[in-house]
A and B are shown apart, each in its own frame.
Chain A
């Protein structure tokens, strides 16, 4: 009896998105018997690797009470910058490292605008998005740029203990952000920034610095997501990540993170990202035309957010 109750309690604590995810998978497997092929799930995990990492970054920002709409631009510019430098003769690996450093720089710049300039995160990050998207387009002249190397393929197709390399990166980033959030001083500050900024000030914390740090970390994660994307598309793509900035916010919210109270965490975000990715992938598998796909994915995400809100309201009662 006890253990049954425990199971029930554990189920009750799960974010509603988990159940919606299961429902979605069942739906797709009914519509296409081949859906359950192992390969397909492997693909889902590989495909969503960059969005996963962005989702973790976005979760940190959401917990501080903000949104980072420049995450797509960070990914875009990282792919472009790395290829651009490689074309100018910089060794590809070094170019990648520099691109990630640049991503951190963008994060710091964004953080300064928000924390020091007292700009609403939504506006500041939207501005930053536009600036760096435009820069990426300028560098490439509006097209994709290519630098030939087998490094991309090596990274993307190798595996460790049967786990594909991109998924390994996701796991490492998950552990990194989880520890950051739950086992570090910064984590406490992140929850306080969103939950009760005044309390943080009273505790003598330099809130400007901690907020900037959060955006810097988000920039770093954006850089990693950028490298994952680069290895997948094997080119500098100035618009490859457009749309991910909102998808990552949606994933964080679906995963149970809240703007207001510093509530939530990166674990839930995994399910949020999976929901979005599985919706996309499933529509592919059951053969929905591309033009209808985004309508359906959008509707699924919207429905999920509504169901989630309703379930949470009920639970509170």
Chain B
């Protein structure tokens, strides 16, 4: 381990009405990956933003390369060698990779025009050094895959020749293979002596790249530990501040009735090819597979978003053919979609309006609606689901990921469908909220709902489901009962579409 490159001492950051950071110490060494964990709102992002110069702390000091610094903004920090790769894409869609990398630092020719050749060459060099020379440098980045875009972002960060890079949830939208190549790059940066601050929820990733972990909770630092000095369970306990030995809960299923049967389902674009599955009342059925295996597409076809080409769907023995989500909801199917920000929620609308979103017609059959009733209902779900907010009139965009997801759940609970499809219900939310959502899914199943759970996280899908279908390239490659679960069998079905010898 190298020498200390950055030390933050006694950082306190105030937001109106709350202490976002309270006397937090943090340090980073050359060539180290220092992971920041904590529940949403624990202060991870705030701390990294203080280091990046986006926020100025009220108290405390930051010592960078041996001297105290006060950055006036991100540009200032960037110029001194502190760069960031953000969770939300910070690329301009219709500029190419080179133009994005050199945004506002464009090289110019003697005539004052952009020196595209030079920028493209340097961008190419950067991408080559990242082993990504397959990325087309002349295409608008919009046309690149998510992973390629992420690599462009990393190239952009590296072009500042930084001493420190902050990664904020970099893997949340990447597939496993893409995550692997990202980690390769992080190891390379480490070897070059770059200090890396890594903000993430994904605990299974930590041992692969981390050196030390700092746990934050409610704006305070709980502890900094070496990566091998602490088990996952201890980490979770530190994050949520209570004992969580029982993460997954799955009760006995008292029902036997068949709730949903899908027979030989095809969609029109060829992403779903002959999917058949059965879900019983009170059952949680997993739908596993790699990203792009057709899980979401299957859900969308059942829910009427994607046009069905052939196949049959039965709900409680009755043949149905939902042509759009509205019909699907009427039939009694609900979909908690993967992308809550664009599909699950109207971000600018209030919590109450979002919770009522699918139920307007059901709750108010007449002409008039009652804002008071909507609010009362929302308050009920706020309490039941423990949505952390000062008011249900608040717009959803101001909520943390976990709370937003709870609003999406509240929306469907309010509508009360018999069959619920959860597509990546815990993506990007913190461990405390995850556990609440697991408990809720279990409760819903016990109450007699039939549930399909799509997830890329094997531990959770293994922990939560009664049986699972594994998908591979649009087809069901296998069905496993809970007694047959093993990471290995599931993995083989996911990767190669069949079980090995």
Contacts and interface: CB of A to CB of B under 8 A. Distances in A.
Nearest to B74: A202
Nearest to A258: B94
Interface in B79-104: 86, 88-95, 99-100, 103-104
Contacts of A198: 88, 90
Interface residues of A, number: 24
B91 A188 contact: no
Contacts of A317: 269
Contact of B92 (A185, A199, A264): A199
Contacts of B91: 196, 199
Contact of B89 (A189, A191, A196): A196
Contacts of A189: 104
A198 B91 CA distance: 9
B159 to A, nearest CB: 11
A185 B95 contact: no
A205 B114 CA distance: 17
A317 B269 CA distance: 9
A205 B73 CA distance: 12
A184 B113 contact: yes
B92 A262 contact: yes
Interface in B282-307: none
Interface residues of B, number: 27
B78 interface: yes
Nearest to B113: A183
A199 B94 CA distance: 13
Contacts, number: 73
Contacts of B269: 317
B140 interface: yes
A188 B95 contact: yes
A203 interface: yes
B75 interface: yes
A232 interface: no
Interface string A175-195: 000010011110111011001
Contacts of B114: 182-185, 187-188
Given A204-B74, A204-B78, A317-B269, A195 B93 contact: yes
A317 B142 CA distance: 15
B177 to A, nearest CB: 25
A235 to B, nearest CB: 39
Contacts of A195: 92-95
Nearest to A182: B114
B106 interface: yes
Interface of A: 179, 182-185, 187-189, 191-192, 195-196, 198-200, 202-205, 261-264, 317
Interface of B: 73-75, 78, 86, 88-95, 99-100, 103-106, 108, 112-114, 116, 140, 142, 269
14 contacts: A185-B108, A188-B92, A189-B104, A192-B92, A192-B95, A195-B92, A196-B90, A196-B91, A196-B92, A198-B88, A202-B86, A203-B105, A204-B74, A263-B94
